[in-house]
């Protein structure tokens, strides 16, 4: 039996199944640095160390040892199915007969990095910037379309001493399509443990990354709060309908609407001139989405819209009005159809951002 084992980013992050598999193995094969990470688990076993770039040789040796009746473990850092030994091994699966193989998953580098940064992942793409085996143009296209799909992007192998062009090209694409304040999480592996920082995209420099770095680039809704990188999923937060909001939407549903600026209002502009006053009260309140400027008033349980003028911008109002009448049939729908309303908000948020980046 050949087991392709993910040992995680550190020994402390290994799964119970990975530990048990290594314990049963008679032969352990791996890159020498990975062997060193778990050396205390390998007493009494045959250990075969190979350098970087000898992945196919490791797979071939594993097959040979297995054919001799040995229980073999090929180890990969992180998860072996993500830029690891699983893909290498299965390139050879059709070359031999009667091979028994299992893949033992591990904690991937992107999962580990995400856990250190907070909760940056929603729908996401994992892309390697190594152009050793992949054409640079293909890498650029993957990044471009991941951004257009509003995916969080995790970058592996961002830069080495000799391989700098892919990172340079990635930066150009990010600068073209993303807001310069988009949060970027940087997780650097060091001998003393991981080091993390969160910076705006505009501050990302090439000397901040190397082959031991994972970058997580946020999308249009990602924000930073209390030192954590967060990408909201859009959960509907329970909240009663305020009496003034009740009154406003009762009038709104009967056609008593003020479209555009309401300069006769004593509070105009409550945000910034010029502002669209179609929605004096937001139909999405509380959205719980910090990315547009709203925030919790700490320890009060109140969501403040003071710093959010998103609902007062013409293009957003126009987008909302195309579908809101089909959702909001009564004032109680502000509560009963909150998920549908938040999906509409997200649709308009992404649509406007996409148009501004084209």
pLDDT at 354: 64
* Residue listed under structure tokens 């809101």: 324
The reply to whether 133 and 97 lie within a common domain is no
pLDDT at 257: 85
Q: Is residue 213 part of a domain?
A: yes
* 2-6/27-31 β-pairing: unpaired
Closest by Cα among 340, 127, 352 to 220? 352
Q: Is residue 238 part of a domain?
A: no
Helix (H) or strand (E) holding 152: strand 152-156
Count Cβ atoms within 10 A of the Cβ of residue 356 and give its class: 0-12 exposed, 13-18 middle, 19 or more buried.
exposed
The reply to whether 158 and 188 lie within a common domain is yes
pLDDT at 157: 93
Q: Distances from the Cα of 46 to the Cαs of 2, 57, 71, 298, in angstroms?
A: 14, 16, 11, 58
Which residue range(s) make up the domain with 281? 243-357
221: domain CATH number is 3.30.950.10
Closest by Cα among 153, 148, 145, 147 to 124? 153
pLDDT at 355: 58
The whole-angstrom separation of Cα 198 and Cα 190 is 17
The reply to whether 41 and 116 lie within a common domain is no
For the chain, 358 residues long, give each residue's pLDDT as a single digit of tens.
999 999 999 888 999 999 999 999 999 999 988 999 899 999 999 999 987 878 899 999 999 999 999 999 999 999 999 999 999 999 898 888 888 999 999 999 999 999 999 999 999 999 999 998 899 999 999 999 999 999 999 999 999 888 999 999 999 999 999 999 999 999 998 878 889 999 999 999 999 999 899 999 999 999 999 999 999 988 888 889 999 999 999 999 998 888 889 988 988 988 888 999 999 999 999 999 998 999 999 999 899 999 999 999 999 999 999 999 999 999 999 999 999 999 999 999 888 766 555 5
* Residue listed under structure tokens 């509560």: 335
The reply to whether 250 and 349 lie within a common domain is yes
The reply to whether 221 and 279 lie within a common domain is no
89: domain CATH number is 3.40.1010.10
Q: Is residue 235 part of a domain?
A: no
The reply to whether 164 and 261 lie within a common domain is no
pLDDT at 356: 59
Q: Terminal CA-to-CA distance of the chain, rounded, Å?
A: 52
CB 37 within 8 A of CB 10: yes
The reply to whether 147 and 72 lie within a common domain is no
The whole-angstrom separation of Cα 72 and Cα 207 is 40
The reply to whether 74 and 115 lie within a common domain is no
Side-chain half-sphere CA neighbours of 235 within 13 A: 6
CB 28 within 8 A of CB 75: yes
3-class DSSP state for residue 281? coil
* Residue listed under structure tokens 């479209």: 259
The reply to whether 191 and 163 lie within a common domain is yes
- Please tell me the total number of residues recorded for the chain in this structure: 358
The whole-angstrom separation of Cα 73 and Cα 104 is 10
Mark which of 196, 230, 264 sits at the end of a domain: 230
Domains of the chain: total: 3
pLDDT at 191: 77
pLDDT at 304: 94
The whole-angstrom separation of Cα 51 and Cα 30 is 8
Closest by Cα among 187, 193, 190 to 229? 187
Mark which of 175, 204, 230 sits at the end of a domain: 230
Mark which of 177, 198, 230 sits at the end of a domain: 230
The whole-angstrom separation of Cα 136 and Cα 158 is 13
Q: Is residue 62 part of a domain?
A: yes
The reply to whether 120 and 100 lie within a common domain is no
The reply to whether 29 and 91 lie within a common domain is yes
Which residues have a Cβ under 8 Å from the Cβ of 20 and sit 6 or more positions away? none
The reply to whether 100 and 116 lie within a common domain is no
pTM reported for the whole predicted model: 0.87
The whole-angstrom separation of Cα 184 and Cα 152 is 10
Which residues have a Cβ under 8 Å from the Cβ of 162 and sit 6 or more positions away? none
């Amino acid at each position: 039996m050949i087991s392709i084992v993910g040992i995680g980013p550190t020994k402390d992050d290994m799964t119970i199944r990975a530990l048990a598999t290594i314990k049963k193995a008679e032969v352990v094969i791996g890159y020498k640095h990975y062997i060193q990470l778990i050396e205390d688990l390998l007493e009494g076993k045959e250990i075969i160390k190979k350098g970087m770039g000898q992945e196919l040789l490791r797979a071939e040796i594993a097959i040979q040892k297995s054919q001799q009746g040995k229980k073999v473990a090929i180890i990969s850092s992180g998860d072996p199915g993500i830029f690891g030994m699983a893909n290498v091994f299965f390139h050879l699966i059709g070359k031999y007969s009667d091979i028994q193989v299992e893949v033992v998953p591990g904690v991937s580098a992107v999962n580990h990095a995400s856990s250190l940064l907070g909760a940056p992942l929603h729908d996401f793409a994992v892309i390697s910037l190594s152009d050793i085996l992949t054409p640079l143009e293909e890498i650029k296209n993957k990044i471009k379309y991941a951004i257009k799909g509003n995916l969080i992007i995790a970058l592996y192998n961002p830069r080495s001493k000799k391989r700098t062009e892919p990172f340079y090209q990635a930066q150009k694409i990010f600068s073209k399509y993303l807001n310069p304040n988009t949060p970027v999480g940087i997780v650097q592996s060091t001998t003393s443990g991981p080091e993390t920082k969160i910076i705006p995209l505009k501050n990302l420099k090439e000397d901040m990354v190397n082959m031991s770095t994972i970058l997580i680039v946020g999308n249009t809704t990602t924000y930073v709060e209390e030192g954590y990188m967060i990408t909201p999923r859009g959960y509907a937060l329970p909240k009663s309908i305020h009496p003034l909001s009740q009154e406003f939407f009762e009038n709104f549903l009967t056609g008593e609407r003020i479209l555009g600026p309401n300069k006769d209002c004593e509070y105009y502009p409550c945000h910034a001139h010029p502002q669209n006053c179609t929605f004096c009260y937001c139909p999405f309140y509380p959205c719980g989405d910090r990315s547009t400027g709203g925030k919790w008033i700490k320890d009060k349980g109140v969501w403040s819209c003071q710093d959010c003028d998103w609902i007062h911008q013409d293009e957003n109002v126009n987008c909302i009005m195309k579908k809101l009448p089909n959702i909001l049939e009564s004032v109680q729908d502000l509560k009963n159809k909150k998920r549908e309303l938040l999906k509409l908000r997200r649709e308009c948020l992404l649509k406007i951002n996409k148009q501004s980046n084209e």
